[in-house]
Amino acid sequence: MNSVPVTYLFVGADETALRTAMPEFAANGVQSVVLSDQLISAVMGKFSFADTIKKYSELTGVKFVDSHAPFGPGIDLNVPDADAHKRMILRHKLAMNIAADFGVDTMTIHVGNDLRFPDVPLNEQFDWVIKSLEELLPEAEKCGITICIENIWFRLNTPDMLLKMKSHFPTDNLGFCYDAGHANLMTQGRSFDDGAANYAWGSFNETPDWNDPILEKMLPHIVNCHIHDNNGCKDDHQLCGSGSVDWKRIIPLLKSAPGLKNMQCESISSKHNFSVREMISTTREVLKY
């Protein structure tokens, strides 16, 4: 486990955020942080900002180890429009090249939430994802990047759907990002009629594919992971240990993943007003399991 870096997400993409967060992480013994979607987008907008990011990494000794691609409507892999698809592919190729410039070798990419395109059948959205991966994986190989597709709580990103996508690409440049908070919505979410999973699936008059062995299904292909907490209703990105995620079961399984390269704390302090020190201490506590 000591050989697998634990990385931390921080919110913000300007010099003030870097000047504040990077020394605080260093002071609390953190060596690795995430090249976030916000930071990557900032570099896309102003390429000289990459040098600013590197400056604070060198000053503090805190390195960027994993990354998260920009995401959202029109940016995820399932966008069902030819022109938008071309722009999305270019954006992800640029994101991977930016990550590679920082020495990062894993990038989490969202396949997309089917609810964003309710008039497009699920199988067609799946085909768009496959087309996107066909175009992106050669670039990932050139960059030395493993694309990690992530379980969320929609019909298009269940573990079974991710496994079906992976079956098209027997390459080490495609793996999974296991998100513990998202998985919790698809297990503990049974108890919440107004929860995120029930809303996502209920919009199509379907019952969520409540699925307890999500981690077990994904385990052979897990390359990185997101750890954060919630009570099963909403995607809160709370402190680890503050919700209903079963860390005693999850952490030992994650540590056994044969391809695991890093573990990322994705608790978001700006949403809940907790300190960096709290985030680090609670993460370290659950990692003891």
pLDDT tens digit at each of 289 positions of the chain: 457 999 999 989 999 999 999 999 999 999 999 999 999 999 999 999 999 999 999 999 999 999 999 999 999 999 999 999 999 999 999 999 999 999 999 999 999 999 999 999 999 999 999 999 999 999 999 999 999 999 999 999 999 999 999 999 999 999 999 999 999 999 999 999 999 999 999 999 999 999 999 999 999 999 999 999 999 999 999 999 999 999 999 999 999 999 999 999 999 987 888 899 999 999 999 999 9
Residue 205 belongs to some domain of the structure: yes
Residue 183 confidence (pLDDT):
98
Alpha-carbon torsion 133, 138, 143, 146, what sign?
positive
Residue with tokens 């000794």: 61
Residue 136 belongs to some domain of the structure: yes
Which residue from 270, 283, 273, 271 is spatially nearest to 225, judged by alpha carbons?
283
CATH number, residue 212 = 3.20.20.150
Residue 1 confidence (pLDDT):
44
**Total number of domains in the chain:** 1
Q: What type of residue is 143? A: C
Residue 164 confidence (pLDDT):
98
Residue 12 confidence (pLDDT):
92
Q: DSSP state, 44? A: H
Q: How far apart are CA 200 and CA 107, in angstroms?
A: 25
Q: How far apart are CA 264 and CA 266, in angstroms?
A: 6
147 touches 109 (CB < 8 A): yes
pTM summary value: 0.96
Residue 270 confidence (pLDDT):
76
Residue 128 belongs to some domain of the structure: yes
Residue 132 belongs to some domain of the structure: yes
Residue 179 belongs to some domain of the structure: yes
Q: How far apart are CA 237 and CA 250, in angstroms?
A: 17
Residue 178 belongs to some domain of the structure: yes
Q: DSSP state, 30? A: -
Residue 241 belongs to some domain of the structure: yes
Alpha helices of the chain — where are they, by DSSP H?
A: 15-27, 37-45, 49-60, 82-101, 122-143, 159-166, 180-185, 196-202, 214-218, 247-255, 269-272, 276-286
59 touches 22 (CB < 8 A): yes
Q: Which domain holds residue 88?
A: 6-286
Residue 1 belongs to some domain of the structure: no
